[in-house]
Amino acid sequence: MEKVTREFTSKSAEETKSFAKNLAKKIKAGEIVALYGSLGAGKTTFVQGLVAGLGYEGRVFSPTFIFVRPYKLANSKHPPARLRQANRAGKTGNRKQKGKIKTLYHIDLYRVEKETDLKTLGIEEFLADKDAASVIEWPEKIDKILPKETIKIKIEIIGENERRIKVDE
C-alpha cells in the first residue's frame, strides 16, 4: 500500500492537539508513530492530543528524563493492527474484534547517547507489543529499527505559534 502524505498548518497549541486527537482515531494496536521536529516544535503537545484522542483522561508529561511513559487506555475501542489487516483481507468474517489498544507508550529518545542505551531501555519490547501503540519523540536515533509501516509525522516551526505538520501514513 502506498504511503499518503497529509499536511496541516496549526496556528496554536490547541489546534495541534485537536489535529492529533483526530489522527488518534486511525491509530491501531501494534502501530508506531514517529514524531520528528526540533526542540520546542510541539511534539509533546501533539502527544497530549493523541493520548486524549485515544481516551486517556489524565495529564500527559514528556518522558525526557525517564525515556518511556506508559498510558493505560482501559476504555480504548481501537482494534489491533493485525485485526484491521485481517478485516481488509476479508479473513475475520462477522466475528467481533476483541483487541484494543491497552497501552500507549510515549517514548522520548532525546537523551539517548549511544545504541547500547536503547538495549538497556528495552525499546524493541515496547515496539513489539501488539496490544499497545507507541509514539516516539526523536525517532531519528532508531530509524534503522523502525518498521516501514511506521506513521511518520514531521512538525516544523514556521512562526511563534504556527507549526506545519506533515503526516506520512
Q: Domain ranges in the chain?
A: 5-168
The pLDDT assigned to 44 comes to: 94
The pLDDT assigned to 118 comes to: 72
Backbone angles phi, psi at 33, to 5 degrees: -115, 125
Q: What is the DSSP string of 132-146?
A: EEEEEESGGGGGGGS
The pLDDT assigned to 149 comes to: 92
C-alpha cell recorded at residue 53: 484522542
Q: Which residue has 481516551 as its cell numbers?
A: 55
The pLDDT assigned to 22 comes to: 95
Per-position pLDDT tens, the chain of length 169: 567 789 999 999 999 999 999 999 999 999 999 999 999 999 999 999 999 999 998 888 888 777 899 999 865 444 444 434 444 444 433 333 334 899 999 999 998 887 767 777 778 888 889 999 999 999 998 888 889 999 999 999 999 999 999 999 7
What is the gyration radius of the CA atoms in the chain, in angstroms? 16
**What is the CATH superfamily name and number for domain 5-168?**
P-loop containing nucleotide triphosphate hydrolases (3.40.50.300)
The pLDDT assigned to 23 comes to: 95
Alpha-carbon distance of 120 to 149, in angstroms, equals 25
Alpha-carbon distance of 79 to 108, in angstroms, equals 25
**To the nearest 5 percent, what fractions of the chain are helix, strand and coil?**
30, 25, 45
The pLDDT assigned to 94 comes to: 34
∠ CA 88-131-49 to the nearest 5 degrees? 90
